[in-house]
A and B are shown apart, each in its own frame.
Chain A
Amino acid sequence: MKNLMTSIRLTLVLVVLLCVVYPIVIASAGKLSKGKGDGETVSVNGKVVGYANEGQSFTQQKYFWGRPSAVGYNAAGSAGSNKGPSNPDYLKDVAGRIDTLLKYHPYLKRSDIPAEMVTASGSGLDPDISPEAAKIQIKRIAEVRGLSVEQVTKLVDAHTEAPLLGMFGPAKVNVLKLNVGLDELAKPAK
């Protein structure tokens, strides 16, 4: 009985410390961070067009495409496909994605296609692709937008983020930021 009373009292005290004081301290400090602790957004002309760290669906030809998503980039949820490596239905899906990519990029060989462009990400919200995956789309973008290949290549290079400290982890390209840059590039000069 004594244990029970102690347990209840200690639980109450710790709830205040761990669930009120601690998170509020962090939330207050978070106000000083880039996104004020609400998540960092990307804006065009003062209007929010997305979250920097969350991928969004790009299906139009004039944009760089991101990775396939098991949740259709619906950021109210998140999930991978959870398909096993030998699942025949899954392998059919992958084959279908390869065909779609080849249809829109007739200049590509199969071995040019990096795996991430035909496989779903873990969260369904992967904001990035590898620099290689951006490069294979350059020619298509240049043709659709009437830009030169050099212009688009330069843009991709500018948006390629190097590994952490140049040494750790993969290089990547944020698809949303790249596409925002692309829209700006395509704007007629005033």
Chain B
Amino acid sequence: MNTELFGIGASFLLMLIIGIPLGKYLAKMFAGEKVWTDFMKPLENGIYKLSGINPNEGMDWKQFLKAMMSINIVWLAYGFFVLMYQDKLPLNPDGNPGMTADLAFNTIISFVVNCNLQHYSGESGASYLIQHFIFMFLHFVSAATGIACAVAFFKAFRDKTTTNLGNFWNYFVKAITRLLLPLSVVVALILTFNGTPSSYAGKDQFISLQGDTVNVSRGPAAQMIAIKHLGTNGGGWFGANSAHPLENPNYLTNITEIVSQMIIPIAMVLCFGYFIGRKKIGWVIFGVMMIGALMLLIPSISSETGGNPAIAKMGIAQPTGAMEGKEVRIGPTATAYWSTLTTIVSTGSVNGMHDSTMALTGLWQLLGMMINGFFGGCGVGVLNYFIYLIIAVFISGLMVGRTPEFLGHKVEAREVKIAALITLLSPFLIMAGTALAAYVFTSHGNADWAIKPSAWLNNPSYHGFSEMLYEMTSANANNGSGFEGLGDNNIFWNVSTGVLMILGRFLPIIGPVAIAGLLAKKKFIPESAGTLKTDTVTFGLMTFAVILVLNALSYFPALALGPIAEYFSMIK
């Protein structure tokens, strides 16, 4: 009996058992129908009143995006200053210093955009004030931002012809009070009763059994780890993220954390179908995403449980798989499982070090982030997928000689142009970023930065290249995991990935919402024999093909230089 395989089987089932009904619930809740969480209404009304919000005021797509951007800008400014001056602010029991300007720039963008790339280490780089009032706060609100934008996009297809996408503040507040906050309470309680600290006590010191003096970092971590997963954020309390035994103390917490990062992305996909009253399209998209996820998941598990061939040559037993960078209580199977899911859903939390995974596992992790549409982050996953879908509608339309239509609205030049630009954005940012990094590394190795470019890489050769490619990909995908060997806390990486994160976040939100807004305004065309049906399995496969072709064309050369080359160098 392979208990490690049983373990991931159980978490897979649990994720479906919770995610599917959650999708139906979200569709009802966002439509304003009666749901059991209506007892939160007084709280919401209080929030609206204190903030001067009229939740029933309709917004067109431009007004909606303006509201969304303005609150995000407020968070950027608020966070930047608190990060720089944390040493002068309260709740800093370990006396951590303020951040440098470039690190603060990178870190605040990282958390506002739901990326959570961390160029600092939690234990020594962030006070409790920052961890809660900036990071945990942004965990909630950045996830709610993504969800609110997705709901606006759903709303565009719910009505036949409309300019009203709903009220940003309304969706945003409800995403917190009706979804993120209640689930966070449940998850945080599970964590704290399994050993994750939740009190405000500072560092502890003790004398070990052998007589060494040991310092232990602690703090109210359970609260943050709950929402870090539910909101597909991924930024951990401790440097080692969910590999840390206090963030993830046992197998039960491991299941809890991996399930909680999957349920909202799954629910949002099904919510789309139920919300617009065409549940079939939700299930077709779900099917495509699930096939994509499994195609990355199964080979990852197989390459990790197979062990490291270089260590096998030394005659060492690897009964469960490769163990470098992994934890015994979790095991290689659940680590491989997690590493794929965390890269497809943009969480980017890790329960083992990705830098030390096998070459091919690294390939699947990179691909998951490059595609970024198999479930994807809270809300934004659906929006990313929608861009692929528009391209598929356009290509299918051309193939069968029909006017491309999506759910009763003509897809015309303007919409396709936006979709094409967004599609090209990711490869451009990732490739240009990696090329620039590689150029600086080879030609300006001695630049006088906090970490000299020649000392950036923790591993030589192909794997070193993968470290740079991974960092840029993770920034663009708003994932936040890393090949953490990379020496990234210096001005080059802080600024470049900061720019990538902000572009990789807001353009792929603005694009789809704008397309949806433009489509919704158009005259509704009833379905006829000549309509290209977008809720069929055939069309699902077509979208899948578009995803594969687009990503293979964009990324194969870079992947061939990194993980693929490393793989072939190891089997010779």
Contact = CB atoms under 8 A, between A and B. Distances in A.
Interface of A: 3-11, 13-15, 17-19, 22-23, 25-27, 29-31, 33-41, 44, 47-60, 63, 67, 73-88, 90-91, 94-95, 98, 110-116, 118-130, 132, 163-164, 167-172, 176, 179-180, 183
Contacts of A83: 324-325, 355-356, 458-459, 485
Contact of A22 (B207, B223, B324): B223
A95 B310 CA distance: 11
B140 A122 contact: no
Contacts of B132: 19, 23
Interface string B52-79: 1100000000000011001101110010
27 contacts: A4-B70, A6-B71, A10-B169, A13-B47, A17-B181, A27-B199, A30-B199, A39-B197, A49-B208, A53-B245, A56-B209, A67-B328, A75-B214, A82-B353, A82-B459, A84-B463, A85-B356, A85-B570, A110-B314, A118-B316, A119-B323, A119-B325, A122-B351, A167-B3, A169-B7, A169-B251, A180-B209
B198 A122 contact: no
Contact of A88 (B181, B352, B460): B460
B287 interface: no
A10 to B, nearest CB: 4
A164 B7 CA distance: 9
Q: Which has the most chain A C-beta neighbours within 10 Å: B4, B173, B218, B223?
A: B223
A111 B311 CA distance: 11
Contacts of A74: 214-215
A134 to B, nearest CB: 11
A82 B217 contact: no
A59 B323 contact: no
A176 to B, nearest CB: 7
B328 A22 contact: no
Contacts of A176: 209
Nearest to B309: A85
Contact of A76 (B141, B217, B310, B329): B217
Contact of A163 (B7, B181, B184): B7
B556 interface: no
Given A22-B185, A91-B310, A14 B47 contact: yes
B328 A125 contact: no
A167 B6 CA distance: 7
Contacts of A7: 67, 70-71, 73-74
A18 B176 contact: yes
Contact of A126 (B47, B245, B310): B245
Contacts of A17: 47, 181
Contacts of A110: 314-316
A124 B240 contact: yes
A56 B208 contact: yes
B515 interface: no
Nearest to A94: B311
Q: How many of chain B's residues touch chain A, expressed as a range?
A: 35 or more
B124 interface: yes
Interface string B321-364: 11111111111001100000000000000111101111100000
A151 B350 CA distance: 39
Interface in B121-174: 121, 123-124, 132-133, 136-137, 140-141, 169, 173
B4 A77 contact: no
Interface string B427-444: 000000000000000000
Contact of A51 (B210, B216, B460, B566): B216
A120 B206 contact: no
B323 A22 contact: no
A54 B245 contact: yes
B428 to A, nearest CB: 27
Contacts of A36: 199
Contact of A3 (B70, B198, B200, B330): B70
Contacts of B73: 7
Interface in B197-243: 197-201, 203-204, 206-210, 212, 214-218, 220, 222-223, 238-240, 243
B223 to A, nearest CB: 4
B208 to A, nearest CB: 5
B307 interface: yes
A180 B485 CA distance: 35
Given A7-B74, A78-B240, A123-B244, A60 B210 contact: yes
Contacts of A94: 311, 314, 316
Given A51-B216, A86-B310, 7 more contacts: A50-B209, A56-B212, A67-B328, A123-B238, A125-B244, A125-B245, A176-B209
Interface stretch (B22-30, B187-195, B528-536): B187-195
Contact of A10 (B71, B307, B321, B331): B71
A19 B4 CA distance: 37
A159 B377 CA distance: 41
Contacts of A29: 189, 192, 198
Nearest to B216: A75
Closest 6 A/B residue pairs (Cβ): A122-B243, A82-B485, A30-B198, A110-B315, A84-B463, A169-B251
Contacts of A118: 311, 316
A167 B350 CA distance: 23
Contacts of A59: 210
B66 A3 contact: yes
A123 B121 CA distance: 12
A9 to B, nearest CB: 4
A171 B317 CA distance: 17
Given A30-B192, A179-B209, A170 B3 contact: yes
A106 to B, nearest CB: 16
A38 B334 CA distance: 27
Contacts of A58: 209-210
A86 B240 contact: no
B217 A75 contact: yes
A32 to B, nearest CB: 8
Nearest to A21: B181
Contacts of B353: 80-82, 122
A104 B362 CA distance: 35
B250 interface: yes
A48 B206 contact: yes
A98 B316 contact: yes
A87 B457 CA distance: 12
Contacts of A6: 51-53, 67, 70-71, 169
